Structure 1
Amino acid sequence: MDWGRFAQDMAAMARELLAQESVDSTLGRITGSAVELVEGCDASGILVLHDSTVQSLAPSEQLVIDSDALQARLNEGPCFDAARTRGGERVFRIHDLTEFQPRWPSFVPQAQKLGIGSMMGFLLYTEEEELGALNFYSRRSGAFTQASELAGWLLASHAAVAFSSARSHAQLENAIATRHVIGEAMGILMGSHHLTEDQAFDVLRRYSQENNVKLREVARQICERGGLE
């Protein structure tokens, strides 16, 4: 591997990640960079676990989706393990899926049928949170070397920071938007029913609880309709 060229490409990728405008575009650039920059990588994706539910984020091709779905169905697999690790292994590299893998006896033979020859993955984490696993796939056995693993580690480190930052930014934007729409709805109720600010918010809260509708959705309906029906 030409490490000088790789360092330049990694720096360019890091700048591009900072320039992305959404979580989805950030994740898409991460998995796209995996295929472009990591030697041996044919496909890439990010697997996230929500309790026992598997979510495939920014898969570069159908192979990733099929692998994630297989691991979810079997409740077994290397990407699955990497995504749910807690203080344990943060990387895996399977040199050859034609060899017996005692940790994943059900997954490996079915992964072979999907056309996967070798795999590698890294836990995406920051000091504050664990975000899922960045996974690399090759259709060839023995595609991932020590150099591939080092390159993957570097990419995963940049990816974790970018992913966390993009998600925090999206959450902040969502919170600001929610406050704005709730404030607008309260203003409508205060003007149409001669309520105080506290009384208007109490109306919103009670309607939300009694109808099992999120507060933001109640506020949005009021803004659209000019009041509660």
Structure 2
Amino acid sequence: MVRVNEPAGAADAHLRIAEIVQELYSRPDTDSATVIAELAEHAAVEIPGAQYAGITVTRNSKHIDTTAATHMWPVLLDKVQQRHREGPCLTAAWEEKVVHVADLETETRFPRYRRDALAETPIRSIMAFQLFIAGQTMGALNVYAEQPNVFGEAAKKLGLVFATHSSVVWNSARRDEQFKRALASRDTIGQAKGMIMERYGVDAVRAFDLLRKLSQESNVPLVQIAEELVEKAQSPEPSK
């Protein structure tokens, strides 16, 4: 049997990761939540020693979310990190590319996290990899095992590759979603403008100015104002 830490095994693993990412990247209608969930599942399979995987996302190092997890343990461990605002996944997200906890029993960097993690889960080994996410969001791809000292150099190298690819495909999916939302917003605003132009006999510039004025006066986003106008116009008249 070929092991992943042997040259041929490592090459096969790299090829599988490339194929996984290419397949996810080529899907035309896959949302970012589905992409990140599948990436976590593949990480648990492909990274040597991993039993479970999860993805931690944080905006300000104080509030974190588990956007994907293959088991309840990654979710629970993120709650422990949230509770104490310390832990390997937070550190990977904000400070270091890789954080390795070889054995939670002897870990000294995160004392409160260590105490609760040992009390509440069977997890003993953790390796966290920094994810680059566009904008103000930081993240980490994390793998876990119930035995100590299971993650070696092969896991580190493969995890870094997986995290890099994951960042690219996730950001791509998020950009596609943002683009689709922008197109939908543009169409809705266009419909609302057309209604105003027809009803009040004004040109497109004046119609947009009216929408913007309504948005400013009501402190409601312009696209929401447009959506409400369109929905109201499309609602059936109440029967008399």
TM-score by length of 1: 0.90
Deviations 1:47-86 (A, max 9, x none): 111223212112222211111111111111111111123x
Q: Gapped runs of 5+ residues in structure 2? A: 235-240
Cα distance, 1:130 vs. partner? 6.5
Q: Gapped runs of 5+ residues in structure 1? A: none
> How far apart are the structure 1 equivalents of 2:214 and 2:97?
46
Q: Residue in 1 aligned with 2:222?
A: 215
Q: Residue in 2 aligned with 1:120?
A: 127
Cα distance, 1:129 vs. partner? 7.8
Q: 1:128/1:115 Cα in 2 relative to 1: closer, same or farther (>3 Å)?
A: same
Structure 2 counterpart of 1:183, from 186, 190, 212:
190
Q: Residue in 2 aligned with 1:60?
A: 70
* Cα-Cα RMSD: 1.9
> How far apart are the structure 2 equivalents of 1:28 and 1:155?
14
Q: Residue in 2 aligned with 1:199?
A: 206
Pairs within 5 Å for 1:17-56: 17-20=24-27, 21-51=30-60, 52-56=62-66
Instruction: Tell me if structure 2 keeps the 8 A contact 1:124–1:130.
Output: no
> How far apart are the structure 1 equivalents of 2:43 and 2:189?
41
Q: Residue in 2 aligned with 1:73?
A: 83
Instruction: Tell me if structure 1 keeps the 8 A contact 2:93–2:139.
Output: yes
Cα distance, 1:11 vs. partner? 2.6
Structure 1 counterpart of 2:110, from 104, 111, 120:
104
Q: Which moved more, 1:205-214 or 1:41-50?
A: 205-214
> How far apart are the structure 1 equivalents of 2:162 and 2:107?
29
SS at match of 2:202: coil
Q: Residue in 1 aligned with 2:237?
A: none
Structure 1 counterpart of 2:165, from 158, 183, 205:
158
> How far apart are the structure 1 equivalents of 2:197 and 2:153?
65
> How far apart are the structure 1 equivalents of 2:165 and 2:12?
17
Between Structure 1 and Structure 2, whose CA radius of gyration is higher? Answer: 2
SS at match of 1:106: helix
Structure 1 counterpart of 2:21, from 14, 17, 31:
14
Please state if 1:145 is matched with 2:155. Answer: no
Instruction: Tell me if structure 1 keeps the 8 A contact 2:131–2:139.
Output: yes
1:197 maps to a residue whose letter is A
SS at match of 2:38: helix
Cα distance, 1:128 vs. partner? 8.4
Q: Report the count of equivalent residues.
A: 223
Instruction: Tell me if structure 2 keeps the 8 A contact 1:123–1:130.
Output: no
1:6 maps to a residue whose letter is A
2:102 maps to a residue whose letter is H
